[in-house]
Each structure stands twice: as structure tokens, then as C-alpha cells.
Amino acid sequence: MSEPLIIEPEQPADSCVIWLHGLGADRFDFLPVAEALQESLKTTRFVLPQAPTRPVTVNGGYEMPSWYDIKAMSPARAIDREQLEGSAQRILSLIEGQRDGGIDPARIFLAGFSQGGAVVLHTAFLRWQGPLGGVLALSTYAPTFSDEMNLSASQQRIPVYCLHGSHDEVVHNPMGRTAYEQLKAHGVTATWQEYPMGHEVLPQEISDIGVWLGDRLR
């Protein structure tokens, strides 16, 4: 299994963003984004893990980097829950590694695009027990959320920035909106930001993320 790509800041790190790529991408996918954000976040380390390569059912069984198998697309995503749990466990280990290396968990952020976002939402709100700086949910959904989930007080204090394209043809906008509304219903401070785009990332979106992170790392 590939080691995460680690991008150290100019100055000694006192914060960290663990950023997961989407289905079929790799750990280098968000390297330019991390480097751009570090221009203003000069003490923030970025950790970019790599998903394992495995067959993806909805793509004809073709092997590609995937945090979990997607067995069917509709009416709702049918996923391999065990594989998602394995990916979440890897992220928990990365959080603990940063914490044990001296980074306050309240200054550790989880970010994920598409499938990666589903993993970080699951990790932050259904697995991690303790403070976190926040969650960036880009063009994603929450296949493991439900109306019955029970969040702890520390989980409710984790802020979330949900960013989604209004024309997303892969993870349809209402799927992202549902995750946002479930977080709000369970007492989480979540913000919804929409862009006139498809399943992608725009420069304005990265600029907005930089502002959001900066506000929480003062």
C-alpha cells in the first residue's frame, strides 16, 4: 500500500489537513491544491493518502484506486461497507499519527473529494471520538448517514464546509445537499456552498476553502 504524500509547510507545522482523492484518481491529484493553499497557510501540513487499487463493480469490475467498491448507482449508492470501514480506519491512524507527532487534533482537518469525501464524513462523524478542526466535503455524499445516527457533543462541534457543483453529473447535487441537511439536523455547524460547475474543482472554490481554513487556524 502506498505511503501518503506529505507536503510540509514553509514553517514548522502546527496544523494538518488530511485530504482524500476521488475514485480513479491518486494521491497526487490534490498536490497543486495543497501547494496553492500553503501560500497562505504557512504552518499547515498536507497529508494526501492513496486509495488501494481494486475492482469497482459499477465500472465493469475494472481495477482502479478506490476507497471502497460501488456495487450499484441507484436508487442510492450500494457500497462495500467493510471496505469503507477499512479506509476510515486508515484515516483514523493518520489522525492519531499527526496527534502523536504534536499536532493538536483541534487543528487537524479532514478533506475529501467525491468518494474521498464520503470516507471523511463517515470517519469524522461515525468513528472518530474527539475534537477535530473541521471537515471539507467536496462534491460528495454520505452513504452511511441516517436520521437515526447519534452524534457525541465533540462530533457536533466539528464544523463542516460542504461544496458542490449545481450541475454535478456524477454525485448529483441533491445527494450532497442531503448530507448537509443531515448534519444540520444533528446539531452540526455546517455551511453549504454551491458553484456553477460539474463534478470538478474550481479556482474560486479553492480560494473559498483557503479563507475557511484560515479563519479556523488563527
**Active-site residue list:** 114, 168, 199
Instruction: With residue 53 as reference, give the H or E element that holds it.
Output: strand 53-56
How many other β-carbons are positioned within 10 Å of the β-carbon of residue 212? 18
* Cβ–Cβ < 8 Å for 121, 127: no
Q: Which residue is listed with cell 448534519? A: 183
Cell reading at 67: 476507497
The Cα–Cα gap between 112 and 45 comes to 16
Our measurement of the distance from residue 208's CA atom to the centroid of its chain's CA atoms, rounded to an integer in Å, reads 16
